[in-house]
Amino acid sequence: MTITFYDLAHDNGRRISPYGWRVRMALAHKGLDYDLVPIGFTDKDKLAFSGQTLVPVIIDGSKTIPDSWAIACHLEDAYPDRPSLFNGDAARSVTRLVANWVNSTVNPAMIKLIVGDIYKVCRPVDQAYFLETREKRFGMPLEKYVDQSDAQIERFRAILTPARLTLQDQPYLSGEAAGYADYCLFGSFQWARCGSPLKLLATDDPVHAWRARLLESFDGMPGKAMGFEA
């Protein structure tokens, strides 16, 4: 039975959700087909069946699963014969740490850099909602919150130190091959690449080379997604 995947997507084809990208990469890793249902910021009524308002959500057979971590765990457990996302229970637990590091530390530094550009590529019908909810969350006007200064880029790059040190010695966060830990961080870079022209990484950064490898994965699927140059 084909999986149905509800992801934040605009009618211009942009896929601007870091968590949606995690799921998209996980489905590709498992080699699973799916039907995509694009959800715009103001299309939330289409998610009512899931009992909450956020994407990503998948329906797989009789199961409705919101939340990217829960979806990754479901795919791993329901499709054990497909390539593993975690490679074992201990690695799954450590991957949770990576997911939480990205959620709590990388994404807040990244959003300060890119949210103004993301507003510009939102569908016109979603822009008022996006502005209102983000300004409420940040407690200030968007233009005051956004910071694309060199100092903020340096702060962002410094936050990536644990990934950089790891990727100096191995090609992927998960080791010799990419796994869900990689998709957690890479999902955020896809969020940025699909929504903002800002150059976040120096070209000699091992994180830059790692991102380039992942952009080419799955026959170049992530690199072909509508976005800006990496």
Residue 197, C-beta contacts closer than 8 angstroms, at least 6 positions apart: 117, 228, 229
Nearest CA among 222, 142, 132 for reference residue 186: 222
Q: How far is the CB of 144 from ligand GSH (least distance, A)?
A: 20
- Tell me: does residue 114 bind ligand GSH (CB under 6 A): no
d(CA 153, CA 200): 7
Site string for ligand GSH, 68-107 (x = CB under 6 A): xx--------------------------------------
- Tell me: does residue 190 bind ligand GSH (CB under 6 A): no
Q: How far is the CB of 166 from ligand GSH (least distance, A)?
A: 22
Q: How far is the CB of 100 from ligand GSH (least distance, A)?
A: 10
* Residue whose CB is less far from ligand GSH, 167 or 183: 183
Q: How far is the CB of 7 from ligand GSH (least distance, A)?
A: 9
- Total of chain residues touching ligand GSH, rule CB under 6 A: 12
- Tell me: does residue 6 bind ligand GSH (CB under 6 A): no
d(CA 191, CA 46): 22
d(CA 97, CA 198): 27
Among 3, 6, 8, 211, binds ligand GSH (CB under 6 A): 8
Q: How far is the CB of 38 from ligand GSH (least distance, A)?
A: 12
- Tell me: does residue 133 bind ligand GSH (CB under 6 A): yes
Judged by CB under 6 A, the stretch of 16-24, 139-147, 149-157, 215-223 that binds ligand GSH is 16-24
Site string for ligand GSH, 20-59 (x = CB under 6 A): ---------------------x------------xxx---
Q: What angle do CA 75, 12, 182 make, to 5 degrees?
A: 35
- Tell me: does residue 18 bind ligand GSH (CB under 6 A): yes
Strand partners, 217: none
**Residue 191 one-letter amino acid:** W
Q: How far is the CB of 18 from ligand GSH (least distance, A)?
A: 6
List residues near ligand GSH by CB under 6 A.
Answer: 8, 17-19, 41, 54-56, 67-69, 133
